[in-house]
Structure 1
Amino acid sequence: MIPIAPIFVRSKEILEQLSSLLDEERTAYGKQDSEVIIDLSAKKQTLLDEMNQLNEKRVNILIKFDIVDRKKPTEEAFKDWLSLQDSSMDNVRLLMQECEALLKTCKTKNNTNARVLNTLQKRNKHLFELLQGHSSKNKVYTARGSTRPISSKHTLGRA
């Protein structure tokens, strides 16, 4: 029997932890707690690194047992092989389905957090420009064709 069930078990644990961290991250964005956000980012990166190592290990096992093509291993080839196996691989099928569902949940949460972060960044940039005396209406073109705000100290009205 191919020893991939433990890999899926650990992958499921990682995805559950990642989902929890993404929930914590969203809360931290709401509280605008930068220390917690940085700490959570480091924890997420550690989990993602371990997940990548597990995926490499899984692919290497599948190549070793000649389940997927050595030159171009694909997830579809593994799924096709798995669908042809008897009931002894039901636990692997179930773990794989659970991992896919968790991965979809994590992607949704991550995209939501990215939108929240983007909104916060835009708001903070706007507030910073206001503090500097810039206005989104007072912009000039640079030599490269982009725009930049001009300071209220240098406007025509102050001349």
Structure 2
Amino acid sequence: MIPIAPIFVRSKELLEKISLLLDEERLAYSKIDSDAIISLSEQKQELLNEMNQLNEKRVNILIKFDIVDRKKPTEEAFKHWLSLQDSSMDNVRLLMQECEALLRQCKTKNNTNARILNTLQKRNKHLFELLQGHSSKNKVYTARGSTRPISSKHTLGRA
């Protein structure tokens, strides 16, 4: 028996934790709590690092048991091998499906958080330009073809 079930169990636990962190991150964005955002980012990074280590361990086990090609191990080769196994591997199949569903959920949440962050960054940039007296309407072209704002003499910072 190949010892990959514990790897999928731990992967599932990590994905569930990442999903919860992504929910917390979204809440922190809504509150604009930078300390929480930084802390959550660090926690996510730790979990992702462990996920990468688990994946490397899983691939090494699959290579060791000649399930996937040593030079180019693919997920498809593992899935094909798994589909050919008897019912003794049903628990691994189920864990793998649960992990894939959780991964899709995490990707969706992460993309949502990225869009929220992008919106916040655009808003902050706009507010900063207003404080500097810049207007998106008052821009000129530089020698390189990009645009830059024209400073106003009446900025809020000078008031």
Could you say whether these structures have the same fold, taking a TM-score greater than 0.5 normalized by the shorter chain as the test?
A: yes
C-alpha separation between the residues in 2 aligned to 1:17 and 1:150? 47
Structure 1 position 105, deviation (Å): 0.1
C-alpha separation between the residues in 1 aligned to 2:61 and 2:143? 55
User: What code does the residue aligned with 1:95 have?
Assistant: L
TM-score (norm 1): 0.95
Aligned to 1:37: 37
Aligned to 1:47: 47
C-alpha separation between the residues in 1 aligned to 2:153 and 2:145? 23
Structure 1, residues 57-101: CA drift from partner, whole Å, max 9, x if none?
000000000000011100000000000001110000000000000
Structure 1, residues 40-64: CA drift from partner, whole Å, max 9, x if none?
0000000000000000000000000
SS at match of 2:15: helix
C-alpha separation between the residues in 2 aligned to 1:37 and 1:5? 33
SS at match of 2:153: helix
C-alpha separation between the residues in 2 aligned to 1:146 and 1:6? 54
Structure 1 position 148, deviation (Å): 1.2
Aligned to 1:10: 10
Aligned to 1:59: 59
1:92-103 equivalence runs, <5 A: 92-103=92-103
Gaps of 5+ in 1: 155-159
Aligned to 1:113: 113
User: What code does the residue aligned with 1:122 have?
Assistant: K
SS at match of 1:153: coil
Higher mean C-alpha displacement, 85-94 vs 139-148: 139-148
1:83 aligns to 2:83 (yes or no): yes
Gaps of 5+ in 2: 155-159
Aligned to 2:22: 22
Structure 1 position 153, deviation (Å): 2.3
User: What code does the residue aligned with 2:103 have?
Assistant: L
Aligned to 2:127: 127
Identity of aligned residues (%): 88
**Number of aligned residues:** 154
Displacement over 3 Å in runs of 4+:
none
C-alpha separation between the residues in 2 aligned to 1:62 and 1:35? 41
Aligned to 2:157: none
